[in-house]
Amino acid sequence: MEYTQQEKYWIWLSSIEGMTARKFYKILVSAGDAQNVYEQPRSFKPLFDDKLFGALLASMNNGSPEGMLEQLEKNKVCAVTRINDLYPESLMHISDPPATLYVKGDPDLNCDKALAIVGTRRASYDGKKAAKEFSTLLSENGVTVISGLARGIDTIAHTSCLDAGGHTVAVLGNGLGSVYPPENEALAQRIVDSGGSVVSEMEMSQKPSKWSFPMRNRIIAGLSRGVLVVEGDRKSGSLITAQLGLEEGRDIFAIPGSIYNSLSEGPNSLIQNGAYMALSPWDILESMRWGTRPNLRQKQNKAPELDENEKKIYDLLKSGAMSFDEIENVTQMTTSELNSCLTMLTLRSIIIKLPGNLYRLS
């Protein structure tokens, strides 16, 4: 990637350790140009606190802007500055736009149909299933899935999108010199190989920290046209992403869950406070005017052919997963009868068996 002279110094100044976007723009306004800071650092010392000025001098001693760009090229990373035409339009107008984005993969992050899918790292069975179904169908309808490459819901959202042949963007809370969590290194490479992007605003060697993830979340929300929260408790980082999205005028969607499940507290709270309830990916596609659900024929909704005992179990499991003992108590079937029915229903893929001797509709 070619860089202008102005961009070279812009990238250098924005990459200094401890330099936030807000500090960068404040310094740039006073200095006029990042190159002025590089050529006359002492003249602009009053614009820096002691720690940041020490980092600036250390950066100058460690190499030149040209050397830094050579290192980026060696690692196949592009630096997209806010003054570059490739800088995403959706980030231009957020309250705290990143000065520079470092990108592996496709550097063009502009996308008309992009949705953030976020949620807890400790996803339940239902949360994992919902994340997969929503990401898959949205991807099949041309929606770019944005997420944070974290464990749990994020990983499922990216993976399901790729499995569906879709386009996905992962935003990291650390520099692109490493992948966090490390077990997602192969997934990050798969995203790049598929034509997607792995993105960070942090310099290559920056490690993840407590503050870096909320910073990352504003980029996830900013790149997206809407945010879907799958699961998360009231302190979940996914709610931070939703709040940041709301502040930037993004549509917020949430998948409701049981009032007895702590992982549903976040989505349920969002719905209670005005977020759109998403019971199907089509609720999002239609709300965003990205698609219209197909006209379902009656035969698609027709229940499977079942005998009397099988129908008892089928109707019972419509309300959710139940244990063998619970089904036996309600249906009053003998143990052998129930075992036989559950086995047949499982073999026909009408129900599935879960850990803990639980059963639910497939």
Q: Quick check: 167 pLDDT over 90? A: yes
Average pLDDT taken over every residue of the chain: 93
Give the DSSP letter of residue 322: E
pLDDT beyond 70 at 302: no
- CA-based nearest residue to 187, from 105, 286, 76, 81: 105
Q: What's the count of helices (H) and strands (E) in the chain, helices before strands?
A: 17, 12
The answer, yes or no, to whether residue 171 has pLDDT greater than 70, is yes
Confidence (pLDDT) at 14: 95
Task: Give the per-residue pLDDT at 298.
Answer: 44
Whole-model pTM? 0.82
- pLDDT over threshold 60, residue 297: no
Indicate the range of 101-110, 149-158, 181-190, 209-218 predicted with least confidence: 209-218
Q: Report whether pLDDT(212) > 50.
A: yes
Closest CA relative to residue 130, chosen from 261, 38, 228: 228
- Contact call for residues 191 and 158 (beta carbons, < 8 A): yes
Report the alpha-carbon distance of residue 353 to residue 321 in Å, rounded: 9
pLDDT of residue 299: 43
The answer to whether 358 touches 323, Cβ cutoff 8 Å, is yes
pLDDT at 301: 53
For residue 296, pLDDT beyond 70: no
User: Crossing angle, helix 265-272 and helix 237-247, to 10 degrees?
Assistant: 20
pLDDT at 270: 95
CB atoms within 10 A of CB 32: 10
Side-chain-facing half-sphere of 311: CA atoms under 13 Å = 6
CA distance 251 to 340: 48
